[in-house]
Amino acid sequence: GALDVGVLAAAVRDVVARHEVLRTVYPEVDGVGFQRILPADRATLDIDVVQVDDAGLVGAVTEFVSGTFDVTREVPVRARIVELSDTEHVLVFVVHHIAGDGSSMGPLMRDLMVAYTAHTAGESPSWKPLPVQYADYAIWQRAVLGDEADPDSLISRQIDHWRTALSDVPAVLDLPTDRPRPAVQSFAGGRVDVSIAAETHRGLTRLAAQTNTTLFMVVHAAWAVLLSRLSGADDVTVGTPIAGRGEEALDDLIGQFVNTLVLRSRVDGGEAFTGLLRRTRESDLAAFANADVPFERLVEVLDPVRSTAHHPLFQVGLSFQNLDHGAFELPGLTLSGVDFEAGISQFDLHLIVADAYDENGEPLGLGGGLTFASALFDEATATAIVDRFTRVLDAIVSDPEVAVGDIDILDVSERAALGAAGAGRSVSVPAVTLPDLFAEQVGARGAATAVVTDDAVLTYAEFAARVYPLARYLISSGVGPDSRVVLAMPRSVELLVAMYAVAAAGGAYVPVDPDQPAERISHILGTADPVLVLATTAADVDGVSVGVPVVVVDDLDVSSYSSAPVVDSERVGALLPGHAAYVIFTSGSTGRPKGVAVPHSAVVNQLVWKRDAFGLGGSDAVLLKTAATFDLSVWEFWSATVSGGAVVLARAGGQQDPDYLLDLVRTHRVTTLHAVPSMLEALLAAEGGRLPSALSRVLAIGEELPAGLAQRVRAAGDLDLVNLYGPTEAAVSVTAHAVSEADAVSVPIGVPEWNVGVRVLDARLRPVPVGVAGELYLSGVQLARGYHGRADLTADRFVADLVGAGERMYRTGDLVRWVRGGSGVLELEYLGRTDFQVKLRGFRIELGEIEAALRAQHDVAQAIVTVHSDARAGDRLVAYVVPESGRAVDAATLTAAVARDLPNYMVPDAVVVLEALPLNVNGKVDRRALPAPVFEAVVFRAPTTPVEEIVASVFAEVLGVDRVGLD
């Protein structure tokens, strides 16, 4: 029918007149939920009437709704009537939240109906004046809550409750977002629908009845389960509004009664849903019983981490709405609500659920929506979250006793996609060994260059003529499959010959660095249990307790042995692909290095994949500059010679001189460089951002490749840059990603290589969805046999494969997640470690090993080692030690002492002596509370001459310290 605009406007004005709160200005807002209010004398409200066509409607509404209110100067309401045609109108009524809440919709609509109906009949509304106004409530609320200074007041008791309930609550729930969190929360949002079937709704209601809980509690517990699974956190808070209208007299009032409650859940993946639900009931009831402290006040007293980037105390909301507003009817008119998308999300995510029932009270299903902050999430991600939530609800209905960590939040197609992404291409690589691959090249290209040093060049034939006689000597000494030879040699042709000879003899080589402390080498020797030790000079094993023959290769005359390739019949036993090719020792968290035994089949797969993936061939030269004690060197030692290329040797110690390395690359036209990112940084710095033109591929591995560095390397020449990832326990590298200009923010570690399986699993070994952090597990042919002589450590890390019966998986301790690249391909992104293993300038270090070395010293009772990062000075190792009671520890003496046990790169850069280690509430060491170290000379001597001053100031600048003294 026809709407009388004048009548509607009069009715709106009547409603505003009836509710004092709607014509109140707030000259002072104290920000804690109590307002000192001052009724404004504005009985008439301007009502704006605009005419637009259908297409203009959204614009007219958006414009009107988006405007702000200055509540200190104007009334907190405004109304507009939009005329679409003579017979179609939209009433837009905007109330600032200070004067109205969701539950005010009921009284607002009721009063509007009464007023409109009366005015249509030419009368005034016949309602009785309201018995109380919002101001009465505000005064009453203050009186009831009492004074915070009084410990027995309601507000004091409630604050006490929250102090306990929310103590140490995590500042942020880290959900897998599509984009990093901006520094300032934008509140721009979107919304996707939630629709839960009647069947599930019935099940949830039944579950609530059986467990003496409410539908709200069931939905809350389920939501906490999903949030925990998505964030990997076991401590999850959500915020929920509570109506705050306990008294009947408040039912007819418009006003801001709603409060926000913080609901905290500890989610334990092993607990049955019913267990979590029982605890949710307790904590929700306790929260509801302490619901009167205004949220704003709570934030002030609890003083959590405040940030413009996120909401305090919680970032995810849960609202339960009762849709029962009653019918809204006006005489002579047909009415319906206009859907309006405000484009706002108050929180990162806000689940809004409404339940509906038929006239017999039978569940009709749950409706509602999920609003999401569009700065963080895409709509598709929000939809996926709703789908997962639906699966959680279905799972708890069908089995309320299910362990919450076992609920499947993936659907069939996701599961299949993750499985496919995790399976490297299956390629049949010949079942051969390293000496087989080498012999093939010796036979095919004897005259080609195999080895280049500063002063010599060896062809394949010449190199082979040195390798095979030594191999035969080793066989005659008892070396063969399943035995080991320690190589205690600095980088040299002799080392290269010795390594190949050990392999040809069928043994596994065990590299040790002669520069490392004798104590550590002795331990490695004891564990490796070798047949013999090969050294360049006797000095290489000075002070080492050996127990087996030390053979000094320079003193050895092997000229009586044949230089033809060694064949299997000559060996002490047949060499099989499953035999170990090398044992590389790596830092061990329990205080001693552990030896990773890698079989030929694993290295061969890696080398053959690499040869194919990068097209390595006869024209390639590879730089050898990594110590043999790191598995990155396996590429450098072996990849050229299995593809017919040349290996260019940097002299011992030369790896520390970027200019020298770049010279080698230039002079010998090195095409392929393997490097840890920190080395790349040093090379770029030495060359002013350019790399020699011969270089056509750079393979980065070993630590996180920062996107900025990656782009600078790409720009440094006409070269391909690849980010590779892999632990020593899986033969150098297992995933690869070709870096492109698209990798501007982060560089993925990529996709699995040939015959490699990767999986990202949660703590209960369940695959995590795309975007969710999990631990990386590896399977396939590249796995090591385990830790030599340490069945216990091996069993801990090499666990039974979930899928392939009889197969094993290696648990990396690396935290990663699947990300979908631009082309839609799923790739892995590296996030960090789950433990105290670190990478420092490419060196793999277990902080626990350093701590054990410190604790083994006299007078040291406790020790903690951390990596201290400084933007300018870089990463440094800092040890915090507590002396035995009544004893003293001197930092310099302690450092010198541990330097006798640890390799250089593991010796702390600073030692801080503390009386006690800071502990957190759980009694564990609180690493964040450790004091920052001070790197300072004991006695400062000022530089005196101008030259000294300049040198000192350059050092100070590079080190990022205020001053540097003469010493």
Chain positions contacting ligand AMP, by CB under 6 A: 586, 631, 701-705, 723-725, 727-728, 749, 812, 814, 830, 833, 839, 844
Cβ closest to Mg ion, residue 631 vs residue 901: 631
Q: How far is the CB of 605 from Mg ion (least distance, A)?
A: 15
For residue 495, count CB atoms less than 10 angstroms from its CB and return exposed for 0-12, middle for 13-18, buried for 19 or more: buried
Cβ closest to ligand AMP, residue 125 vs residue 752: 752
Cβ closest to Mg ion, residue 330 vs residue 584: 584
Q: Report d(CA 667, CA 692) in Å as an integer.
A: 10
Q: How far is the CB of 683 from ligand AMP (least distance, A)?
A: 17
Q: From the list Mg ion, ligand AMP, none, pick the one residue 391 interacts with, judged by a Cβ distance below 5 to 8 Å according to partner type.
A: none
Q: Report d(CA 846, CA 835) in Å as an integer.
A: 9
Q: From the list Mg ion, ligand AMP, none, pick the one residue 812 interacts with, judged by a Cβ distance below 5 to 8 Å according to partner type.
A: ligand AMP
Find the part of the chain contacting Mg ion (CB under 5 A) among 57-65, 308-316, 631-639, 941-949: 631-639
Q: From the list Mg ion, ligand AMP, none, pick the one residue 639 interacts with, judged by a Cβ distance below 5 to 8 Å according to partner type.
A: none
Binding residues for Mg ion restricted to 65-94, rule: CB under 5 A = none
Out of 355, 631, 762, 846, point to the residue binding Mg ion (CB under 5 A). Answer: 631
- Nearest residue to Mg ion, scored by beta-carbon proximity: 631
Size, binding site for Mg ion by CB under 5 A: 1
Cβ closest to ligand AMP, residue 666 vs residue 839: 839
Q: How far is the CB of 866 from ligand AMP (least distance, A)?
A: 17
Q: From the list ligand AMP, Mg ion, none, pick the one residue 723 interacts with, judged by a Cβ distance below 5 to 8 Å according to partner type.
A: ligand AMP
Q: Report d(CA 383, CA 396) in Å as an integer.
A: 20
- Three-state secondary structure string covering 704-734: CCCHHHHHHHHHCCCCEEEEEECCHHHCCCC
Q: Report d(CA 108, CA 18) in Å as an integer.
A: 10
Find the part of the chain contacting Mg ion (CB under 5 A) among 10-18, 276-284, 545-553, 625-633: 625-633
Q: How far is the CB of 844 from Mg ion (least distance, A)?
A: 7
Cβ closest to Mg ion, residue 631 vs residue 851: 631
**Contact at 8 Å (CB) between 637 and 629?**
no
Q: From the list ligand AMP, Mg ion, none, pick the one residue 703 interacts with, judged by a Cβ distance below 5 to 8 Å according to partner type.
A: ligand AMP
Q: How far is the CB of 233 from ligand AMP (least distance, A)?
A: 22
Cβ closest to ligand AMP, residue 293 vs residue 699: 699
What are 509's strand-pairing partners?
485, 582
Q: From the list ligand AMP, Mg ion, none, pick the one residue 704 interacts with, judged by a Cβ distance below 5 to 8 Å according to partner type.
A: ligand AMP
Angle ∠(961,869,740) on CA atoms, nearest 5:
115
- Looking up tokens 């092997």 gives 558
Cβ closest to ligand AMP, residue 13 vs residue 737: 737
Burial 941-966 (b: 16+ CB within 10 A, else e): eebeeeeeeeebeeeeeeeeeeebbe
Cβ closest to ligand AMP, residue 433 vs residue 586: 586
Give how far Cα 370 sits from Cα of 207, 236, 350, 353, 373, Å.
23, 18, 5, 8, 10
Cβ closest to Mg ion, residue 104 vs residue 633: 633
Identify the DSSP state of 856: T
Q: How far is the CB of 580 from Mg ion (least distance, A)?
A: 17
Q: How far is the CB of 754 from Mg ion (least distance, A)?
A: 18
Site string for Mg ion, 489-528 (x = CB under 5 A): ----------------------------------------
User: Which residues, other chains included, contact 121 with Cβ-Cβ below 8 Å and sequence gap of 6+?
Assistant: none
Cβ closest to ligand AMP, residue 161 vs residue 833: 833
Q: From the list ligand AMP, Mg ion, none, pick the one residue 705 interacts with, judged by a Cβ distance below 5 to 8 Å according to partner type.
A: ligand AMP
Give how far Cα 595 sits from Cα of 485, 510, 523, 629, 741, Å.
13, 9, 11, 10, 39
The two three-digit tokens of residue 947, written as one number: 């030259």
**Contact at 8 Å (CB) between 748 and 819?**
yes
Cβ closest to ligand AMP, residue 101 vs residue 631: 631
Q: From the list Mg ion, ligand AMP, none, pick the one residue 725 interacts with, judged by a Cβ distance below 5 to 8 Å according to partner type.
A: ligand AMP
Q: From the list ligand AMP, Mg ion, none, pick the one residue 754 interacts with, judged by a Cβ distance below 5 to 8 Å according to partner type.
A: none
Q: From the list Mg ion, ligand AMP, none, pick the one residue 325 interacts with, judged by a Cβ distance below 5 to 8 Å according to partner type.
A: none
Q: How far is the CB of 615 from Mg ion (least distance, A)?
A: 22
Cβ closest to ligand AMP, residue 695 vs residue 724: 724
Cβ closest to Mg ion, residue 570 vs residue 631: 631
**Contact at 8 Å (CB) between 512 and 487?**
yes
- Looking up tokens 């949002």 gives 189
Q: How far is the CB of 781 from ligand AMP (least distance, A)?
A: 18
Q: How far is the CB of 203 from ligand AMP (least distance, A)?
A: 44
Cβ closest to Mg ion, residue 266 vs residue 839: 839
Identify the DSSP state of 828: E
Find the part of the chain contacting Mg ion (CB under 5 A) among 67-75, 299-307, 626-634, 714-722: 626-634
Cβ closest to ligand AMP, residue 591 vs residue 726: 726
CA dihedral 911, 912, 916, 922 (to 10 degrees): -80
Give how far Cα 881 sits from Cα of 365, 868, 886, 896, Å.
61, 15, 14, 15
Report if residue 703 touches Mg ion, rule: CB under 5 A: no
Q: How far is the CB of 524 from ligand AMP (least distance, A)?
A: 16
Q: From the list Mg ion, ligand AMP, none, pick the one residue 866 interacts with, judged by a Cβ distance below 5 to 8 Å according to partner type.
A: none
**Contact at 8 Å (CB) between 918 and 930?**
yes
Q: How far is the CB of 828 from ligand AMP (least distance, A)?
A: 10
Angle ∠(754,760,764) on CA atoms, nearest 5:
135
Phi, psi of 278 (to 5 degrees): -60, -45
Q: Report d(CA 226, CA 318) in Å as an integer.
A: 13
Q: How far is the CB of 732 from Mg ion (least distance, A)?
A: 5
Q: From the list Mg ion, ligand AMP, none, pick the one residue 516 interacts with, judged by a Cβ distance below 5 to 8 Å according to partner type.
A: none
Cβ closest to ligand AMP, residue 536 vs residue 586: 586
**Contact at 8 Å (CB) between 959 and 873?**
yes
CA dihedral 171, 177, 181, 182 (to 10 degrees): -150
Find the part of the chain contacting Mg ion (CB under 5 A) among 277-285, 550-558, 624-632, 860-868: 624-632
- Looking up tokens 């406007």 gives 9
Cβ closest to Mg ion, residue 674 vs residue 808: 674
Q: Report d(CA 402, CA 393) in Å as an integer.
A: 12
Q: How far is the CB of 702 from Mg ion (least distance, A)?
A: 6
What is the enclosing helix (H) or strand (E) of 769? none
Q: Report d(CA 796, CA 766) in Å as an integer.
A: 18
User: Which residues, other chains included, contact 164 with Cβ-Cβ below 8 Å and sequence gap of 6+?
Assistant: none
Q: How far is the CB of 747 from ligand AMP (least distance, A)?
A: 8
Alpha-carbon radius of gyration of the chain: 36
Q: How far is the CB of 355 from ligand AMP (least distance, A)?
A: 47
Q: How far is the CB of 158 from ligand AMP (least distance, A)?
A: 47
Q: Report d(CA 756, CA 734) in Å as an integer.
A: 6
User: Which residues, other chains included, contact 211 with Cβ-Cβ below 8 Å and sequence gap of 6+?
Assistant: 218, 274, 277, 278, 281, 400
Q: Which residues bind Mg ion (CB under 5 A)?
A: 631
